[in-house]
Amino acid sequence: MKKAIIFAALLALSACAGTQGPSYEEVVTQAKKEMKVAKSMDALWRDTGKFLKKADKAKKAGDDDKAMKLAKKALKQAQLAQAQGMAEMSAAPYYK
């Protein structure tokens, strides 16, 4: 099920690839959704939320490029955290 969520998120982002690109608000909304999923898996990375806060500050300061870059970074980290969480679910001790 979690793989389906990750796949759906990636599919949603790739659908926007042919156009001008998602807006800042869309990226932030998607990042928050992905962070929520990662948190439910107990896999959310420590600094992901910090990047969203910095993006918000940059947006308020008028630096749209920096804000978008930070929001995309938060989104990517949330997606990678989910992938790491999925990989670690099947982790088990290995004895020779």
> pLDDT band at 15, cuts 50/70/90?
low
> pLDDT band at 2, cuts 50/70/90?
low
User: Which helix H or strand E contains 1, and what residues bound it?
Assistant: none
> pLDDT band at 14, cuts 50/70/90?
low
DSSP secondary structure letters along 2-55: HHHHHHHHHHHHHHTTTSS---HHHHHHHHHHHHHHHHHTT---TTHHHHHHHH
Cβ-count burial 7-23 (b if 16+ within 10 Å, e if not): eebeeebeeeeeeeebe
Which tens digits make up the pLDDT trace of 19-75?
A: 688 999 999 999 999 999 999 999 999 999 999 999 999 999 999 999 999 999 999
